[in-house]
């Protein structure tokens, strides 16, 4: 199966906000929400300062914690990216708590909200909105194999200016769907060095989540049983009442004797 990925070259990002605007417009993201946030960063000590931009978005982890904890299947993996079917979201907020990158947010309608890799556009043969509008070619979208090769090539070239330049996302969280070229150490740039899925989340998927679903099914069964018992008791009460009314009604012959 072919897997796809984004290339995000922080060394080329100029912070123009073009990807932010294109993503918001193209995906018709409602007011108050956005899938990409760009933050200017300054590192080093005066006067030896260096600047870059943090391009915060869904990084489409292969071992996606949000997918692991989602009880409804609203979050799922497809083509190497993390998709979101908001119609299936129950609003449990588990994905918000689990993501090591703090990506998913709860929208005003109480459902999860995040980038889905422009799934509809790509399936129609197009390129993701952010990639199409990037003026500095900091963004690319292609097969993950192609993206990794390009990322290493760019990182090697970038080390001429930034000795600590490196590729981030090749192995982190099972391999990210957004492979980054960083001019410095990831922690310095606000990224976790090892954003692995916690053991507790694996336990959730294997034990707690099935148990939770089992309890839900058991609850439904008890609800159905209670309805049957309640209906039976109600019918019994009706029959008892009808029988009592028949006993209490005077016989027709007795009524005629009284009339005479």
Exposed / middle / buried, residue 61 (Cβ in 10 Å: 0-12, 13-18, 19+):
buried
- Give per-residue burial for 203-222: e unless 16+ CB within 10 Å, then b: ebbeeebeeeeeeeeeeeee
For 55, the token pair is 């391009």
Query: Helix, strand, or coil here: 142?
Result: strand
CA–CA distance, 104 with 84 (Å, rounded to integer): 10
pLDDT the model gives residue 225: 52
pLDDT the model gives residue 198: 58
pLDDT the model gives residue 218: 46
Query: Helix, strand, or coil here: 146?
Result: helix
Its pTM stands at: 0.76
- The answer, yes or no, to whether residue 221 has pLDDT greater than 90, is no
Query: Phi/psi of residue 251, each to 5°?
Result: -70, 150
pLDDT the model gives residue 111: 95
Mean pLDDT along residues 145-167: 97
What is the CATH architecture assignment of 4-197? Answer: 2-Layer Sandwich (3.30)
pLDDT the model gives residue 200: 58
Mean pLDDT along residues 145-162: 97
Domain locations in the chain? 4-197, 203-259
Alpha-carbon distances, residue 24 vs 17, 18, 103, 204 (angstroms): 11, 10, 16, 34
pLDDT the model gives residue 46: 84
Mean pLDDT along residues 51-67: 94
Mean pLDDT along residues 18-33: 94
CA–CA distance, 11 with 53 (Å, rounded to integer): 9
- The answer, yes or no, to whether residue 136 has pLDDT greater than 60, is yes
For 87, the token pair is 């119609």
Q: Which residue has the tokens 């060095």?
A: 193
**For residue 154, how many C-alpha atoms fall within 13 Å in the half-sphere facing its CB?**
24
Judging by DSSP bridges, how do beta strands 4-9 and 178-182 pair with one another? parallel
Question: Cα 2 from chain centroid?
Answer: 22
Counting every residue written for the chain, the total comes to 260
């Amino acid at each position: 199966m072919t897997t796809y990925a984004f290339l995000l070259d922080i060394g080329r990002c100029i912070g123009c906000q073009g990807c932010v605007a294109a993503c918001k417009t193209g995906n018709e993201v409602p007011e108050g929400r956005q899938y990409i946030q760009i933050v200017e960063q300054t590192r080093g000590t005066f006067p030896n300062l260096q600047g870059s931009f943090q391009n915060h978005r869904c990084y489409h982890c292969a071992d996606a914690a949000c997918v692991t904890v989602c009880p409804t299947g609203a979050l799922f993996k497809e083509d190497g990216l993390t998709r979101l079917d908001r119609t299936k979201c129950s609003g449990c907020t588990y994905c918000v708590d689990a993501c090591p990158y703090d990506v998913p947010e709860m929208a005003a309608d109480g459902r999860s909200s995040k980038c889905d890799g422009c799934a509809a556009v790509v399936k129609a043969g197009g390129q993701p909105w952010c990639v199409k509008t990037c003026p500095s070619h900091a963004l690319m979208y292609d097969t993950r194999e192609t993206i990794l090769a390009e990322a290493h090539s760019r990182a090697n070239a970038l080390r001429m200016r930034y000795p600590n330049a490196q590729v981030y996302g090749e192995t982190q969280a099972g391999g990210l769907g957004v492979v980054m070229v960083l001019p410095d150490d990831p922690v310095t740039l606000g990224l976790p060095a090892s954003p692995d899925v916690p053991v507790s989340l694996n336990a959730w998927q294997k034990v707690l989540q099935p148990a939770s679903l089992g309890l839900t099914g058991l609850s439904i069964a008890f609800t159905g049983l209670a309805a049957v018992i309640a209906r039976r008791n109600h019918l019994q009460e009706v029959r008892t009442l009808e029988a009592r009314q028949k006993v209490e009604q005077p016989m027709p012959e007795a009524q005629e004797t009284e009339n005479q």
